[in-house]
Amino acid sequence: MTQDLALACRAIIAQFVRPNVFVTGVVLSIVVVLIADLVPPLDLRVLGLSSGVAAILFCRTLFQGWLRDNQLRELLIFPFSEKTLALASILIGLVVYLVEGLLPLGVFFSQAGYGSAQSYISLLIFSLFSSLAVLAISTIDGRFSLLAAYLFGFTLALVAGYCSVFLATLLAVTGIAIAFVFGLHLPVVRTSVRRRSLKLLRSNYFATSALHDSRVWSSLILISAFAGLLSWAIAKEGVSPLIFIALTVVNTAQTTVLSRNPQTREHIVLVGDARRSGLMSAEVNLAIFAVGSLAPLSVGLYFETLNWWHIIVGFVLCAIAACGSAWLEFKYPP
């Protein structure tokens, strides 16, 4: 079993994990240090909510990148079972979270919070178990397992923020135990039935692909809801949601699922115009960035911490990030 698990882990790393994982963790930590002066000391309640939301958003990124990809199931050609491969995917996802999630989160806690070192450690442990619970519950064989995983993680974040971090950690461990009993199945990517689309959407392959891929629009709804809730909690502490606009611009993971789709690469070859395809991809990325920043912007307007100039600057940054994201995806395809 141990040898099969090690083999499955190596297969997943070779297929999906890239060196930029470590670069992302370091870059995000540097960004957190640079914006630390903008963040006054926050209550541990807000930090508990933040750590839970961070785990959910990270798992959403993994689900879009490779955990909900049929290529993961194709690795079953190797001599190990489905349960072993599912367990390996959870462990590798957890290791990636240690680098991309807990490292910047630990830096953020040390810069933006107040309290004892024991409190920070308990928050990091909760965030680790919360991400593990979301990853494990998503392996339960069921049509709504991913939705259940998101809702459970969201519940853990609320419990950690408004009740007790210890209780939230205990609930996470309970969820992990239940998932390991009923779960450890490889997810199946289910695409929605294609419906009639607007002419504007039909003329853009990437918009049509995003509209008919539940991973794109469902995660967009989730990230908007969580960003809005987190912005509301932090705005009441006197922090401008402008920080979340910057983080939304930096986080381009919700668009990478389009370039990682093999059909996208085939589309570019058939069209024969990489520049036009890049522009169409940038249009979709801009729409995703704009919609994703609506929640923090609305909270900022409500608390009067933002004005219309901030919104204009935010959308200009979104446009730059959208074009940069499209350029990187086509210049250095995954």
Question: Is 331 found in the same domain as 297?
Answer: yes
pLDDT tier at 313, thresholds 50, 70, 90: confident
Question: Is 90 found in the same domain as 200?
Answer: no
- 244 lies in which domain range? 195-334
3-state secondary structure 169-186: HHHHHHHHHHHHHHCCCC
The pLDDT assigned to 152 comes to: 93
pLDDT > 70 fraction of the chain, expressed in percent and rounded? 66
Final residue of a structural domain among 158, 190, 222: 190
C-alpha distances out from residue 315 to 196, 211, 321, Å: 30, 22, 10
Backbone angles phi, psi at 113, to 5 degrees: -115, 175
pLDDT for 125 beyond 80 = yes
Question: Is 19 found in the same domain as 168?
Answer: yes
pLDDT tens-digit series, residues 5-44: 888 888 888 877 776 667 767 777 777 777 666 666 777 7
pLDDT for 103 beyond 80 = yes
User: What are the structure tokens assigned to 171, written together?
Assistant: 């609930």
pLDDT for 252 beyond 60 = no
The pLDDT assigned to 266 comes to: 63
The pLDDT assigned to 255 comes to: 47
| Rounded Cα–Cα distance for residues 315 and 219 (Å) | 20
Question: Backbone dihedral region of 115: left (phi > 0), alpha (psi from -120 to 50 degrees) or beta?
Answer: left
| Rounded Cα–Cα distance for residues 290 and 185 (Å) | 35
DSSP-assigned letter for residue 68: T
Let me know the angle formed at the C-alpha of 277 by 272 and 281, rounded to the nearest 5 degrees: 160
Highest mean pLDDT among 161-175, 218-232, 247-261: 161-175
Question: Is 104 found in the same domain as 48?
Answer: yes
The pLDDT assigned to 306 comes to: 75
Question: Is 246 found in the same domain as 111?
Answer: no
Final residue of a structural domain among 157, 190, 223: 190
Q: How far apart are the first and last CA of the chain?
A: 31
pLDDT tens-digit series, residues 272-309: 666 777 677 777 777 777 777 777 778 878 877 777 78
Q: What is the DSSP string of 214-254?
A: HHHHHHHHHHHHHHHHHHHHHHTTT--THHHHHHHHH--HH
Question: Is 276 found in the same domain as 142?
Answer: no
Number of domains in the chain: 2
Question: Is 156 found in the same domain as 51?
Answer: yes
pLDDT tens-digit series, residues 175-229: 999 999 988 888 665 554 444 444 545 566 666 666 666 666 666 777 677 777 7
Question: Is 206 found in the same domain as 176?
Answer: no
The pLDDT assigned to 291 comes to: 74
Question: Is 282 found in the same domain as 143?
Answer: no
| Rounded Cα–Cα distance for residues 17 and 98 (Å) | 14
C-alpha distances out from residue 47 to 44, 95, 148, 155, Å: 5, 22, 24, 15
Is the pTM value of this prediction over 0.85? no
pLDDT tier at 129, thresholds 50, 70, 90: very high
pLDDT > 90 fraction of the chain, expressed in percent and rounded? 10
